Amino acid sequence: MVDWSDLKTLTVEKAAAELQRRKPEFYNRYEGENDEFGFNLETFAFWEVIFRFMYEDYFKVQFEGIEHLPAEGRGLLVGNHSGLLPLDGAMLTMAGVNINPSPRRIRFLATDWFFQIPGLREWCQQTGQVRATLENAKKLLDMDEIVGIYPEGIRGVGKTFRERYRMHDWHPGFVQLAISTQTPVIPVATVGGDEIFPNFANIKTFAQMLRMPFFPVTATFPWLPFPLPFVPLPVRWMMRVHKPIDLGYPPERANDRRLCSKIAKELQYQIQRDLNEMLRERKTPFTAWELD
Amino acid sequence: MSFADKHRTYIRSTRKGRDFGFNVKTMAKLAPLLAFLYEDWWHVDLQGLKHLPKKGPALIVANAGGVLPWAGLMMLHALIHDDQPRRLTILTDLDWIEDERLYSTAREIGLMSWSADNAKRLFAEDETVVVFPEGIQGAVKPFGERYRPRAFDWTILMPAVEAHVPIIPLATIGPEESFPVGMNIDWLAKLLSLPAFPVTAAFPWLPFPANVFSLPVHWKMRLMKPCDYKKPASREEVEEICKTLALFAEGEVQAELNRLLRTRVKPLF
């Protein structure tokens, strides 16, 4: 058990120094880099500590298949989205930094809404998220980054508790991207995210009024004052990363819609099958999986 | 109006070719019960019958639930009342039925033991067949796992793929809430030589007619587009196609279940 008492006196400088000490390979890789999309290593280091606390001691993520993340070169991570606050991406990033033998960051494509809110925009950019457009994605892949996409989109984040682990249909755009840039696709399944903030209902009128993608009603939101609704339940998480899949189609086939939607469906079904299997093996949301 | 007058075309369609133990008289006797369950008790909302081929054989792969193959029985009713009525055979495990009368009734309304030979014979006679590739474990899965199909058994698709029969996925919501299963007791099932021993709110506590009581949940059934696959040339290819098809059909069913559950307003009454 790590001692987290230094979280109270955490500063950006201290966090950066700590990251440099802990993961020199990661730090040196991205230090002094002038990132087009506004990645800031110091801000990242600060938030890394907080999310690492969640990863290691709060959600106690059990991770399978970290070796499938490529050490070098590009990759396209796709998976099921969850959680009202999309912490699944943050947890993947933590795995990519901390338990990865060759630590790397993962650049997630985030919906426009995050980039409309003044404070949140800078935060998203500095921790490595990028506005979801086709050009941005192509640029990132050209820079040989691992790009994370949740093809369910924002609908997947706002799932109600009754719909937990029942995926919405995937948007096939990511297949088009993967084929046109010849990128291997890495499917990832996450169990745990859908239960950290049990969402009882989505209120469409409020969402439209406040221009939010959805307006959830949970046990704590919007009833309790500010920080409390953002405290997640200590659910155990499990993530499973599959082997990178080379789709093996020439770039000309990228505009073949039927092909793209068929591949997207197959990947979606594989992840849903994984979710069902992991849920079946789990006893309660708060207990660990017995892995062999 | 009697069954014979109302369903002339249906009866004519069942008289063609081999009967496989089917008896339209038994069907006529049971039809009112099926009609009651379909229309009044479960309010089945079935869509997508247009995806069934107009002629030739077809294989429907469905998610299991609710202990007995109720979804298949509801399809029986739907196909009697379809514009183009036809007979349906439900391929499932019948070997556990000891009672002679029950067994022959089951055979006479169109249930049959699953075997590759039976399936091949049925396809040769252009029959429509429904199978539940999850197996019995899928039919008795506990309530907490409702509408999450178990892995589809790909071997069940082999006769169909060999004969290049259209494979049509069928998603059903309802049976797993009509017959909520608490748990399945394996050792008791083994002791009684039954395929499974589900414990529900009524079974095995209440005496016979009461223990098959079901909740009047509104059912929804959706037949989907046939999965397309290429005609296999060799035995190895058949296996390969079956494996991918089983995964794909399972995914199609699961995705449709998710969609149905998401858009459902009220499950009961």
Here the ipTM equals 0.90
Taking CB atoms and an 8 Å limit, are B252 and A269 in contact across chains?
yes
The answer to whether residues B196 and B159 touch, using CB atoms and an 8 Å cutoff, is no
Residue B269 lies in a domain: no
Distance from CA of B69 to the nearest CA of A (A): 22
Q: Which of residues 127-186 of A touch B (CB under 8 A)?
A: 162-163, 166-169
- The total of structural domains in chain B comes to 1
Crossing angle between the packed helical segments B70-80 and B24-35, to the nearest 10 degrees: 100
**According to the per-residue pLDDT averaged within each range, which of A5-14, A222-231, B159-168, B202-211 is highest?**
B159-168
- On whether any CB of chain B is under 8 Å from the CB of A271, the answer is no
Q: What are phi and psi of A100, to 5 degrees?
A: -75, 130
What is residue A32's predicted lDDT score, i.e. its pLDDT?
86
Query: Taking CB atoms and an 8 Å limit, are A273 and B250 in contact across chains?
Result: yes
Adjacency order of strands within the sheet including B167-173: B45-47, B220-223, B167-173, B58-62, B128-131, B88-92, B111-113
- A139 with A107: CB under 8 angstroms? no
Q: How far is B161 from chain A (nearest CA, A)?
A: 19
Question: Is B176's Cβ below 8 Å from some Cβ in A?
Answer: no
* Best to test chain A binding among B63, B146, B148 (most A CBs inside 10 Å): B148
For residue A202, the one-letter residue type is N
Q: Is A272 on the interface with B (CB under 8 A)?
A: yes
pLDDT, tens digit, for every residue of A110-155? 999 999 999 999 999 999 999 999 999 999 999 999 999 999 999 9
H or E element at residue B240: helix B235-263
Q: Hey, what are A196's tokens?
A: 């950290």
Phi-psi region of B164 (alpha: psi -120 to 50; beta: other; left: phi over 0): left
For residue A152, the distance in angstroms to the closest alpha carbon of chain B comes to 13
**Domain-located, residue B250:** yes
Q: Please state whether A248 falls in left (phi above 0), alpha (psi between -120 and 50) or beta.
A: left
Q: Which two tokens stand for residue A97?
A: 């930094």
pLDDT at B248 (0 to 100):
95
Using CB atoms, which residue from B150, B254, B262 is nearest to A269? B254
CATH of the domain at B45: 3.40.1130
What are the phi and psi torsion angles at B112 (to 5°)? -150, 150
What pLDDT does residue A2 have? 66
Choose which CATH entry (3.40.1130, 3.40.190, 3.40.1000, 3.30.530) describes domain A5-197+232-281.
Answer: 3.40.1130
Inform me whether the C-beta atom of residue B254 falls under 8 Å from chain A C-beta atoms. yes
* pLDDT for the residue numbered A290: 87
Alpha helices in A160-221 (DSSP H): 173-181, 204-209
B247: domain range? 3-263
The string of pLDDT tens digits covering residues B24-61 is 999 999 999 999 999 999 999 999 999 999 989 999 99
